[in-house]
Structure 1
Amino acid sequence: MATKKCLETVDAQYGGLHANCSHIKTSRVPEDLPDNTTTLDLTFNNIKTLYNNDFKYLTQLRYLDLSFNPIDTLQELSFHGLGSLLYLNMSYCGLYNAKHKVFGLGNLDILDVSGNSLSIINVTFFDEFPNLRTLRVSNAQLDNDFLAQNGLRIFSPLQKLENLDLSSNSLVFLPNDFFNSMVTLKVLNLANNNLITIPDVTQLVKLNSLYLNHNAITTLSHQTRDMLEKTNENNKKFKLHLWGNTFTCTCEEIPFLRWVEETDVDLDGSDYSCVESSGILTFTKAVYNQWTSFNRNCVSSFLLNLTIGGFGIITLTLIVAFVFLKNKMKLKLLLLRMIGKNIYPKKRDDFVYDAFIIYTDSISGWVCNELRNELETNRGIKLNLRDRDHIPGGSQADDLLEAIRDSWKIVLILTEEFLRSDLAYFAMCNCLSSVTLTTPQRLIVLIDHQTNITANLDFLLEAVNEDSILYVDLQHPLTIAFWDRISNVIKSKEGINI
């Protein structure tokens, strides 16, 4: 099909011509564009390669949009002649990594490369963008390890950068000094990642907005809170965006909960969702409004533990430590009963289901067929399965919390896809929160043999009884002995009667 002609109109913003070449099905940059073109829209075409000197005659061009083209080749002099270009949009172009430098964009003000696959970036790539003020690299599949090791060098040439968007890249960790050289930043967007800590931003004295919405942050440490207070002192316009994170409302987090209500830092809200030690979802303001009762319970627990420790005998320290590690839940229940607080383990009849199975789409067929048939049909275990028992279109987080509350045991199936999913940290944190004094052996973990168990999963596995951690090969049928074993673990009582 022949390509259509571009629609040319007066460019009211830059004074030249606006060439609208969107959806004209061209596979090359048009060669017949007027020399005085200042705005060029080439979106939604079939351009696969940007050749050297494709824009050499468009020396007055200020605005160039190449988004939504299947560009797989970018030559070094593709943008030669665009010394006046201020805005370049190459989002969702199918770019795979940025291994080579490009030249000719020395005056570029705004660059958008979101929606591409940029797991690897040449550490000198941004050396040719000295005047860049806005950089958008959202949903670009950035490699966390590569970025942590090379980020300081990659972004160091951007001495005028004011707006940086690294959202939706599944980032888990960034070095504390990652942004130290970006002293001109005014807006930093790290939303929709899996961050559990916040890098130091005290050097960013011009920072107005820090977006951390929808990450895996469960609390802010004392050091982090001090850092944010200092950042706020440096710039009274500073605003912190935390909505979408689920915090923990436990005794250990009293300083953080008070900080949320009393800080001078401008927050995007004063009432964030949080999970109590019992696993119940609540809100920070609800906890703060019942502060006297909450604080009294926490102080009582602290004094109780302090009193018990005071009666320890030095010569029996090792024995006591060993006994405590082996019988931690029993001892806690015993001590609580000694002071008149009769807490008893929950029973199966307190729940709707025998087990809630947490899994990802890649193994849904195996769960809904083989696992369901072996456990539910053959062994009479009542299961809660997402694909069968949850209403489609609902909130995944709310459905997960409700299923945990309604289930006697929780079976968490760890696969590589699960660990990469957006809900992984949320699901694991809430699984751990469900393990309480009344349900100490509630969590069962199945680990696919192909899953790489990293060090940051120790917090989960250390909280699970060894007999409740099972390794499986999901690529092959499992034995009857395995199904009998997991069935017995699910049906077993909490085993802490004293």
Structure 2
Amino acid sequence: MYEISFRGVGVTRKEEGRAIIDRDGILDGRSMVYLKQICAERVLLLENHIFVTEVSAFCGRLSKCLKYVDMTGNNLQGTIPALYRLLSSPNLETIIFISKLYENMMTSLDRKKRVMLTPLESKIPSQIHRAKSLKRRQNKQSHERSCQSRELPFLNDEHQTDGILKLYVSRNLKTVIFHFDYGSLSMSRKRRLMNAHSLETFVLRYGHKGLKDFTGEVFGVEHIKNLDFSYNDLSNVTLRAFEHFTGIETLIFSHTNINALFMSRESNRLFRVTTCLKSLDLSSNSLSELSTGTFRDNHRLESVYLRDNHFQTIPFDISLTPQLRLLDLSKNAVVQLSRKQRQQLDAHARLVADFHLVLNENILSCGCEAVPFLLWLSQTAVSLDNNGNYSCVTAQGQVSYTFAYRDTQALWRICYGKFYLWFSLVLLALMVTCFLAVVFISRHSNYFRAAIFRIFNPTFRMKTRVDYPIAVSIGYAERDYRFPFHHLLPFLERDLNLTTYVRDRDSLPGQYVASAIMDAMQSSWRIVLVVTAAFLRDDQWAEFTFRSAVYSQSLSNPAQVVLIVEERLRNRLPAHLLAAVTDDNIVRLDQLRMCYELKQRLRALLLHG
């Protein structure tokens, strides 16, 4: 016979208490008295309310023919010895024990994997094939030994050598899937799987406590490719516990409470031996950090599942995993990714076109500090789940979505526009202030020189009008005496009440002209030069007057010289005169007359200068 299948046979859940008395729900030699004499390759006992399996259940002829056993959906208890018996069946290839609790907890992905291992419709061999198989089994002599007298491996000290516990399994065993919701087993001792050369898939999920104390070594597991220790207790674990699992391609450590401090220090050494690793699942372990150099030796790694942990960023260097196609960081503590990691992800996406990053269920930041990250989400070539639209928290603490901030330029203006506006205004004010300061200093350079000079000579002081006997000395050309005498002089003496000196009126008889000019300028608070064309071209004392005025100025009276000049003669002024007189002390007129502008300028320069 090829397959025997029982589904939904046995007492209901409400009658399990009575089943202890009438032994309904207990799989033993008596309930299997007929089945164990049948040579069947596949036995499926699904959802039959079996809660106890005894050693005597699987023995005799059945144990020699069995290749596939599936007891999914039963409330299994007291089953361990019977499992050891099954594992040593000579032709066994696949054994599946999934309790009813785990059957309800299985995800769609778990069910899909199980379907791949267990077809819903078993392939029944043809009649010819069955006849030949039956003939071979009839011609083969077999002696059925008593199940009760058969020695059980792994249960007594006879199977211990040098302190190593040995478990003998079928040489043909390929797949072991155990999902229990009860019991506990310490892994602190050394163990060895014997004859496990064909074993590729090993799933051992326990219940409340499950496997614990992973401090011992396990030998004979080099050929295992798929390892699942989910829902066990890895809080106490050492590196040697997994150092012999060198052929692992798929490793699942979800819901294991694995020591977070151990992973933050030793994860690089833990995965160093698994050079063939392609898929790793560390979901739901409260991890927050992996050690530096993790996955340095795992160049074949394609999938990393880190869901439901406390990672705030990608905990390893993406450049160390050149073939990575899936990174699941969902339901972590990621706020945003750093600039370096964003650049690494973009570079990796160029190498691996189908690379996919999962960030769902992270409370990302959509505040001002996350503007570069939000811009990256909308522009990156990395394939993101949910089209890159995630929940995020604003600076005001409100929950929003990243799609609401796709216009990062508007967000940038909201975040930084006010700051840069004020910065620009302050910079503009600073530039204007500096410009005005330069202009002010250049126009009043003499005053600043005097101030600096005063620092080195404390007795130095600026002279005032009371320090001079003459308030104003007027210099002019003799041919142009009318304006100085008839217009300028009356304004200074009558309106401004200033003492003035004019050469033609106040010089002493017989006094030398040069001496008179020099004495007058040195005794005057201000020197007003009326510059006309005749003064520049024909007057014999013009040059002497100009130079005497320049030399009369000093640090104590830097604005002593005032020029009244027609606009048309501005470019004809001597260079040494322009260099000594500031622009504020040069009064330019369209024509020489006592206008309002001239009066006000003279009032300011002579009274308040």
CA deviation digits over 1:422-454, x for unaligned, max 9? xxxxxxxxxxxxxxxxxxxxxxxxxxxxxxxxx
Are 2:263 and 2:291, in contact at CA under 8 Å, matched by a contact in 1?
no
Secondary structure at the aligned position of 2:198 is classed as coil
Deviates more, 1:68-77 or 1:217-226: 68-77
**CA distance in 2: counterparts of 1:82 and 1:149, whole angstroms:** 32
Q: Does 1:218 align with 2:335?
A: yes
Alignment partner, residue 212 of structure 2: 96
Q: Give the drift of 1:310.
A: 6.6
**CA distance in 2: counterparts of 1:305 and 1:129, whole angstroms:** 63
Are 1:50 and 1:73, in contact at CA under 8 Å, matched by a contact in 2?
no
**CA distance in 2: counterparts of 1:311 and 1:175, whole angstroms:** 50
**TM-score, with length taken from structure 2:** 0.47
Residue type of the partner of 2:277? L
For 1:83-162, what aligned pairs fall within 5 Å after superposition?
83-93=197-207, 94-162=210-278
**TM-score, with length taken from structure 1:** 0.56
Alignment partner, residue 63 of structure 1: 175
Q: Which has the higher contact order (CA 8 A, sep 6+)?
A: 1
Structure 1: which 5+ runs fail to align? 314-498
**CA distance in 2: counterparts of 1:133 and 1:144, whole angstroms:** 23
Relative distance call for 1:200 and 1:305 in structure 2 (3 A) is farther
Same amino acid, percent of matched pairs: 26
CA deviation digits over 1:286-310, x for unaligned, max 9? 1114x44322222323315646987
Are 1:80 and 1:104, in contact at CA under 8 Å, matched by a contact in 2?
yes
Relative distance call for 1:35 and 1:292 in structure 2 (3 A) is same
Q: Does 1:41 align with 2:96?
A: yes
In terms of fraction of residues, the more helix-rich structure is 2
Match of residue 259, structure 1, among 354, 358, 376: 376
Relative distance call for 1:253 and 1:83 in structure 2 (3 A) is same
CA deviation digits over 1:73-119, x for unaligned, max 9? 34533522222111111122511131011111111011100111102
Residue type of the partner of 2:168? K
For 1:439-454, what aligned pairs fall within 5 Å after superposition?
none
Are 1:4 and 1:25, in contact at CA under 8 Å, matched by a contact in 2?
no
Alignment partner, residue 275 of structure 1: 393
Residue type of the partner of 2:406? Y
Relative distance call for 1:265 and 1:57 in structure 2 (3 A) is closer
**CA distance in 1: counterparts of 2:166 and 2:172, whole angstroms:** 14
Q: Give the drift of 1:258.
A: 0.7
**CA distance in 2: counterparts of 1:16 and 1:34, whole angstroms:** 7
CA deviation digits over 1:32-64, x for unaligned, max 9? 66310111124449xxx9655764251211111
Length, aligned pairs only: 307
Q: Does 1:288 align with 2:288?
A: no
Residue type of the partner of 1:162? K
Q: Give the drift of 1:249.
A: 1.0
Are 1:39 and 1:61, in contact at CA under 8 Å, matched by a contact in 2?
yes
Alignment partner, residue 163 of structure 1: 279
**CA distance in 2: counterparts of 1:72 and 1:56, whole angstroms:** 18
Q: Does 1:10 align with 2:60?
A: no
Relative distance call for 1:312 and 1:105 in structure 2 (3 A) is farther
CA deviation digits over 1:97-147, x for unaligned, max 9? 310111111110111001111023221222211211000000111121111
Alignment partner, residue 72 of structure 1: 185
Structure 2: which 5+ runs fail to align? 1-19, 44-64, 101-152, 160-164, 431-609
Q: Does 1:197 align with 2:313?
A: yes
Are 2:358 and 2:385, in contact at CA under 8 Å, matched by a contact in 1?
yes
Q: Is the radius of gyration larger for structure 1 or structure 2?
A: 2
